[in-house]
Amino acid sequence: MKATIQHNNTTFEVDLSQPIDISIPLTDSEENPIAWYLSKPVIEPVKMGDWTGKVSEGASTNFNNIFFNPHGHGTHSECLGHITKDFYSVNRALKQFFFLAEVVSIQPKMQGEDFVITKAQIENALNGKMPEALVIRTLPNDPDKKSKNYSNTNPPYLEEAAALFIRECGIKHLLIDLPSVDREEDEGKLVAHKAFWNVTDVNNLNSDARHDATITEMVFVADTVADGSYLLNLQIASFENDASPCKPVLYKIA
């Protein structure tokens, strides 16, 4: 089903029957991706006395509890409340759900013992474009990203200057296939998060901090998805929390 979209004074066509889901499903298997030293998610039937909420065990319905952490167990979107003393909810920060997005592929550069995405790489990849959303696919694009345990692996991350440049481009929504835009062990500095959200003091939030900007981590963009411009549908579950599991879907712009 093709649709003509008018967005920010731009008219284009997308095929709604060809969605590109870049989220990673949350499961209770060993194949679920993990970060931040957690165990895998738990999905199990409710048990009350002799009753178990599972049809195969005699119940009329399947009735599961799910225990997971949005930051460490898969694709999630977060707002600046992730790093502030005061509570801010991603459910209140994200009020629009369709954005013009640019998908770029970047191979992080070795700096000391780390692999880092630099400002120059982002600038070259965008080549003057200033989309509302930026989707970064890191190279090599190993399918193991969909099931990797990132804990204690020091994954690649954004240098502070790169995050600042993304903010200065006016990009409101940053999506990346890594567990964090910051270094795994950085003594709590979180310089890329702070640069992107324009947060200078986590204890006393500055007036120009970007409440309506989001970071989405642990996406997976298959090799079959070419770099270029897309319509992004960014949907979250309605959790009043700093982060929520999400389902970002791309549509190729004709």
pLDDT digits (tens, 9 = 90+) for 86-129: 999 999 999 999 999 999 999 999 999 999 999 999 999 999 99
Q: Domain spans of the chain?
A: 2-27+70-252
Backbone angles phi, psi at 92, to 5 degrees: -90, -25
What pLDDT, on the 0 to 100 scale, is given for residue 41? 98
pLDDT in tens, 190-233: 999 999 999 999 999 999 999 999 999 999 999 999 999 999 99
pLDDT band at 234 (very low <50, low <70, confident <90, very high): very high
Answer yes or no: CATH 3.30.365.10 is held by domain 2-27+70-252. no
User: Residue 1: its pLDDT value, please?
Assistant: 80
Contacts of 242 (CB under 8 A, 6+ apart): 78, 79, 81, 82, 87, 88, 89, 90
Separation between Cα atoms, residue 196 and residue 173, nearest integer Å: 10
Q: Say if residues 99 and 133 touch (Cβ distance below 8 Å).
A: yes
pLDDT digits (tens, 9 = 90+) for 126-178: 999 999 999 999 999 999 999 999 999 999 999 999 999 999 999 999 999 99
What is the four-CA torsion angle of 189, 106, 246, 213, rounded to 10 degrees? 50
**What's the distance, CA 93 to chain centroid?**
15
| Tens of pLDDT, residues 3-26 | 898 888 889 899 999 999 999 999
Check pLDDT > 90 for residue 63: yes
Query: What pLDDT shows up at residue 8?
Result: 81
> Which pTM does this prediction carry?
0.97
